[in-house]
Amino acid sequence: MPSPLQTSQVLFREEQQFRQPWLWALLLGGLAVAQAATLPMLLRFQHHPWPASFWLSLIFPSVFMLLVCALFLYISMVTEVRSDGISVSFRPFQMRPQFISYSNIANFEAVTYRPIAEYGGWGIKWGRAGKAYSVSGNLGLLLTLKDGKTFLIGSQQPERLKAAVDSIIKR
């Protein structure tokens, strides 16, 4: 039997990735520092009979930073406004998307927020302002749920996202 997410119609879809220049400057800077620290040591001791653990400890920082960079290339947040609710997933960290049924939404509005001050940054966050899924920027759709909790969905197109939700709720 197909799940509701497989049978409902998608009215709006947005995929976001971590592509901020400042973030990539930090990541690639970390990789450069790891390389700069490792390469001279490898060249200096290349003919020395050190144990394998020594060689691994030398190259580990570079390999680690390469893996972190690859992970940030792969991470994406996908928001879908469907005929039965809103689906938000943060790949590869979630096996199942976060799903919010329209029947659970009391109010919603496009907002400008302060990611660091209100939620502690970007990603899947729980802050004093509630739960947030965000990748970049400071715009999003703030949902107030019927139980009083809030859920922020970061978006580069908050007005289009709001209009899609509005079109379903008005039906």
What kind of fold does domain 4-17+75-169 have according to CATH? PH-domain like (2.30.29)
Tell me the per-residue pLDDT of 19-53, one tens digit each, with 9 for 90 and over. 777 887 888 898 888 888 777 776 776 676 776 67
Residue 2: its pLDDT value, please?
44
Inform me whether the pLDDT recorded for 129 exceeds 80: no
In whole angstroms, how large is the CA radius of gyration of the chain?
21
- Domain regions of the chain by residue span: 4-17+75-169, 21-74
Q: What is the DSSP string of 90-152?
A: EETT-SS-EEEEGGGEEEEEEEE--IIIIISSSEEEEETTEEEEESSSSEEEEEEETTS-EEE
Whole-prediction pTM value?
0.75
Convert the pLDDT of each residue in 58-117 to its tens digit.
Answer: 778 888 888 998 888 888 999 999 999 999 999 888 889 999 999 999 999 999 999 988
